Amino acid sequence: MNVSIKFGTDGWRAVMAREFTFDNVAVVAQAIANYVKSRSGWERGVVIGYDARLLSDLFADLIADVLTANGIPALVTERDTPTPVTVYTIRAKGLAGAVMLTASHNPPQYNGIKFIPETCHPALPETTDAIEEQIAYCLQNPASVKRDGTPSLKQKIDPRPDYFAHLHQLLDTRALAGLKVVYDPLYATGRGYVDGFLREVGAQVETIKGERNPAFGGSLPDPNPQNLRLLGERVRATGAHLGLSTDGDADRFGVVDADGEMITANQVIVLTLWYLLHKLKPSEGHAVRTVATTHQIDALARGYGNITVHETPVGFKWVGSTMARTGALVGGEESGGLSIIGHIPEKDGILADLLMAEMVAKEGVTLKQALAQVAQQTGEYRTQRIDLHVDEARKNELMRRFREEPPASLNGLRVVNTNLIDGVKLLLEDDAWVLVRPSGTEPLIRCYIEAHDEEVLNGLKEAMQKLVG
């Protein structure tokens, strides 16, 4: 087989019928089976979930056949199921791990596979490297791929009741009862979860784009401002308290305020920490954010004086593993990943949405009013990401220069420190910062910029555009 299958943090993603074929999926499934059987406890079995994409249910059945052919019990979800629900099933049923078929917010012609170990956070490099080694072996030895499944080891399950029972423990469902919400699953896997739970607890919910559509209505299943315009319009038209959305596999969130305007992921993470500090009143605690996520989290933690903030590389595998180690109140990343204490250390767009709904109901404020209350404690924060296109050779040279010869100042602000945890982060005076990270797949450099006001932010953006040229 002449194919390259790279099994990184988000698993393997590829175009269906080109690289993502039944034969190649069987190879990946066998590699996962080999890895699972090399660990203790494999007899507990593996849950298999899949998103709303074309043929995903058939791919899931094939994976179950491969696993059961290797003697591993396989629990397959009855319908397309969100990633966080599939992952929660590991904990609910004491399983050895999960396989999730999803390409998240990628275009509809893509599909993907990822493995989540029993830790319930995204697989760390030692796991994905081991699976990649097994993939290489199976590609070289196609006869090692077992596809003749054992029906007695295969079981269909509905994971929603266990997941909903867990949400009832995490959330104040009485507060949600009087809420008016519009929900947009973007034709994808979250449908019946955010809206289903809210209806179950007595909220008034309107669902748009609520049918399964493997083409996602001709767009990407990504809760970005453009895709959530209709959601904003419906929130304004109906007088709803807020609008909620999830991405293709419902592990990332989108949130719209009562005025129809979108709240950024950074702001949602800050609001979640602020709300949990109010709700739980911990004597001490931890919060986790990636290097690209707002420092308003740090300012909020300093204001309470008893919260330690941990900074990780980009990627929820690092956030989740740090949450598991520290028992953090909140873990988040600016791309739309969030989890909280008491939940699985995996990003969950369903829970993030419901937490924002609960906060609005309990605090009696709009999201922007809550943000204004936070800003009274921390000051204002403005954050933006820009993508600067450069050719590959220049990209590598620029990154070398930023690492070895960082500028002394940017837009008149002195560089007081550098952070090389992931890319190059220039820490500036007045609590501003710029993070520079190279794209691994495109000829561009991503710049994340934060400052206390818009004028400084724009000045830093112009300075970076000139530097990169």
Give the tokens for residue 110: 């893509």
Give percent above pLDDT 70 in the chain.
Answer: 99
Give the tokens for residue 184: 């947009």
pLDDT in tens, 40-75: 999 999 999 999 999 999 999 999 999 999 999 999
Residue at 47 is within a domain: yes
Please identify, among 125, 159, 193, the residue that sits at the C-terminal boundary of a domain.
Answer: 159
Is the pLDDT at 394 greater than 90? The verdict is no
pLDDT in tens, 358-371: 999 999 999 999 99
**Is this prediction's pTM over 0.85?**
yes
Residue at 7 is within a domain: no
Q: What is the CATH number of the domain that holds 327?
A: 3.40.120.10
- Tell me, yes or no, whether 42 and 137 share the same domain: yes
pLDDT in tens, 12-39: 999 999 999 999 999 999 999 999 999 9
Please identify, among 245, 261, 277, the residue that sits at the C-terminal boundary of a domain.
Answer: 261
The strand pairing partners of 337, in sequence order, are: 333
- What are the backbone angles phi and psi of residue 34, rounded to the nearest 5°? -60, -45
- Tell me, yes or no, whether 85 and 210 share the same domain: no
- Tell me, yes or no, whether 322 and 252 share the same domain: no
Residue at 373 is within a domain: yes
**Domain range for 311:** 265-378
The domain total for the chain is 4
pLDDT in tens, 224-281: 999 999 999 999 999 999 999 999 999 999 999 999 999 999 999 999 999 999 999 9
- Tell me, yes or no, whether 16 and 145 share the same domain: yes
The sheet with strand 330-333 has its strands ordered as 307-312, 285-290, 330-333, 337-340
Residue at 122 is within a domain: yes
CB-CB contact of 452 with 375 (8 Å): no
Average pLDDT over residues 405-433: 95
- Tell me, yes or no, whether 116 and 131 share the same domain: yes
pLDDT in tens, 191-237: 999 999 999 999 999 999 999 999 999 999 999 999 999 999 999 99
Please identify, among 351, 378, 405, the residue that sits at the C-terminal boundary of a domain.
Answer: 378
Cα 384 from Cα 113, distance rounded (Å): 31
Residue at 436 is within a domain: yes
Is the pLDDT at 1 greater than 50? The verdict is no
Cα 344 from Cα 8, distance rounded (Å): 21
- Tell me, yes or no, whether 23 and 155 share the same domain: yes
- Tell me, yes or no, whether 365 and 456 share the same domain: no
Q: Give the number of residues written for the chain.
A: 469
Q: Parallel, antiparallel, or unpaired: how do β-strands 262-263 and 242-246 relate?
A: unpaired
Give the tokens for residue 310: 């941990």
394 vs 426 pLDDT, higher one: 426
